[in-house]
Amino acid sequence: MTAHISDERIPNNVDLSGDKRLQRALEQWQPHFLDWWKEMGPEGFQGDDVYLRTAISVEPGGWAHFDYVKMPDYRWGIFLEPKEEGRTIHFGDHIGQPVWDEVPGELRNLLRRLIVTQGDTEPASVEQQRRLGHTAPSLYDLRNLFQVNVEEGRHLWAMVYLLQRYFGRDGREEAEGLLERRSGDQDRPRILGAFNEPTNHWLSFFMFTMFTDRDGKYQLSALSESGFDPLSRTCRFMLTEEAHHMFVGETGVGRIVERTVELMKKDPNEDARAQGGIDLQTIQKYLNLWYSVSLDLFGGEVSSNAAEAFAAGVKGRHKEATRFEDHTALGSVYSMEELEGGKVVKREVPMRNALNEVLRDDYVEDCQRGVDRWNKTIREAGIQFELALPSRRFHRAIGSFAEVRCDPSGNLVTDWDARQGEWLPNAEDEVYIKSLMHAVHEPGKIAQWIAPPRKGINGQPFAFDYVRRPE
């Protein structure tokens, strides 16, 4: 196990060639993955040369290499952070015991469920985004979309490695299942709700990478604390890649906001739509949608599964090692909102059962920082409008507030059906947004509804030829 990544058929830093059985199993899975990629990956761009980053090492400084590559030739592989000798479990009921290099029998089902659930989100998002290339607002954005897509494919490899290496026949079956489910499919949908929502235009894509990929960051962060060492090491490297996805989302929405306020200032009625842009109210609606479906991904507020995973030392809190003093999370309580007889009440819950909510708190805070940056752009343009995260009670399908309907401020409402179109994208909004979506595939050009980025990728200018169409 080194930082260096081998140059084999499956690039890896886990000495794959030293484990012939596993190597064979993964080499059998590889063509199935490629078939899936060709069928469900970016539609219409498989022959393009894309300026992509590829992992060549897991060293923090020099892990990424940029060059043109056709997506089906991307070097998907297995990259784990190096093993830290003497690492011990640092939370839950087994504090101080050495971390596990194999799956403990009693944790097999729990770990398998966590890995499959995480793994399922990776190909799902590629499927959700597969047609977006046809309407990319610039070559820079087109390239970023494909970068996100190939890395989600890479994350699927990361999870499939764990399944095939540590879970025997069950793991091999799960690895096939990950290629068989389809986002939005009636009969065999992806596991989690947000990953079955269509992401069929770029406003949704940027909201998805801002809010839904950020859920991924927090899940990976919690799993990177794991006492199951291979899972921890895998997730630590995935987080390095994941940061770019959220950059794409946050700056994508930020650039839309930037253009919107510019267009508003040009218009006698501050009407961005009249100038061919996206109005702030509509941006707010898509924010409401993607933020609320992403909140659901953290699970119910009170969760015995979360308690079990923490007790077992399998899934910690975000930055468990450095941010907390009591790593047993025993003897403390968490005060949260719940619904009781149609009323919102405060309730104290034993900390371990509240860990979904604790992770959601960190996520909400992180989302708020992004929204603050967007609002700064609006404020500096002298426009009176603030984007806001809706209440956690708004538009929930999971947890205590799934049974009621609340407005974005969190007030219980009885006229949801009549009013939801004010708060969430309605059919007319969808038609309008889609009417703006036309491909701009010329270097240096950009669609009307979004501002160009401040900087290009890897020191290249915005006008760089990020995607070369085949002759």
User: Which residues contact Fe ion (rule: CB under 5 A)?
Assistant: 122, 152, 155, 213, 242, 245
Smaller CB distance to Fe ion: residue 155 or 405?
155
Smaller CB distance to Fe ion: residue 182 or 245?
245
For the bound state, the minimum distance from the C-beta of residue 118 to Fe ion, rounded and expressed in Å, comes to: 8
The C-alpha atoms of residue 190 and residue 122 are separated, in whole angstroms, by 10
For the bound state, the minimum distance from the C-beta of residue 213 to Fe ion, rounded and expressed in Å, comes to: 4
Contacts 24+ apart (CB under 8 A), 82-86: 82/1, 82/2, 82/3, 82/58, 82/233, 83/1, 83/229, 83/233
Smaller CB distance to Fe ion: residue 291 or 401?
291
For the bound state, the minimum distance from the C-beta of residue 311 to Fe ion, rounded and expressed in Å, comes to: 27
Smaller CB distance to Fe ion: residue 122 or 258?
122
User: By three-state DSSP, how is residue 12 classified?
Assistant: strand
Smaller CB distance to Fe ion: residue 207 or 451?
207
Strand 49-55 and strand 467-468: pairing?
Answer: antiparallel
For the bound state, the minimum distance from the C-beta of residue 344 to Fe ion, rounded and expressed in Å, comes to: 33
For the bound state, the minimum distance from the C-beta of residue 246 to Fe ion, rounded and expressed in Å, comes to: 8
For the bound state, the minimum distance from the C-beta of residue 429 to Fe ion, rounded and expressed in Å, comes to: 26
Structure tokens at 403: 């049974």
For the bound state, the minimum distance from the C-beta of residue 147 to Fe ion, rounded and expressed in Å, comes to: 10
For the bound state, the minimum distance from the C-beta of residue 210 to Fe ion, rounded and expressed in Å, comes to: 11
Smaller CB distance to Fe ion: residue 152 or 320?
152
Q: Could you report how far apart the first and last alpha carbons of the chain are, in Å?
A: 42
Structure tokens at 62: 């020099």
Residues near 215 by beta carbon (within 8 Å), at least 6 away in sequence: 194, 294, 297, 298, 363
Smaller CB distance to Fe ion: residue 77 or 313?
77
**Which of 47, 96, 95, 38 lies closest to 68, judged by CA?**
47
For the bound state, the minimum distance from the C-beta of residue 122 to Fe ion, rounded and expressed in Å, comes to: 5
For the bound state, the minimum distance from the C-beta of residue 149 to Fe ion, rounded and expressed in Å, comes to: 10
Q: Are 51 and 67 in contact (CB under 8 A)?
A: yes
Residues near 396 by beta carbon (within 8 Å), at least 6 away in sequence: 292, 295, 296, 402
Instruction: Give the angle 322-328-332 at the CA atoms, nearest 5°.
Output: 100
Q: Are 157 and 33 in contact (CB under 8 A)?
A: yes
Smaller CB distance to Fe ion: residue 48 or 122?
122
Smaller CB distance to Fe ion: residue 155 or 182?
155
Smaller CB distance to Fe ion: residue 213 or 362?
213
436: alpha, beta or left, given left = phi > 0 and alpha = psi -120 to 50?
Answer: alpha
Smaller CB distance to Fe ion: residue 129 or 288?
129
Handedness of CA 216, 221, 227, 228 (dihedral sign): positive
The C-alpha atoms of residue 190 and residue 276 are separated, in whole angstroms, by 35
Per DSSP, the residues of 87-110 read: -B--SGGGTTSBPBSS--GGGHHH
Smaller CB distance to Fe ion: residue 245 or 395?
245
Strand 467-468 and strand 333-340: pairing?
Answer: unpaired
User: By three-state DSSP, how is residue 296 classified?
Assistant: helix
**Helix (H), strand (E) at residue 354:** none
The C-alpha atoms of residue 33 and residue 39 are separated, in whole angstroms, by 10
Per DSSP, the residues of 404-455 read: S-B-TTS-B-S-HHHHHHHHS--HHHHHHHHHH-----STT---TTSPPPSS
For the bound state, the minimum distance from the C-beta of residue 162 to Fe ion, rounded and expressed in Å, comes to: 14
For the bound state, the minimum distance from the C-beta of residue 157 to Fe ion, rounded and expressed in Å, comes to: 11
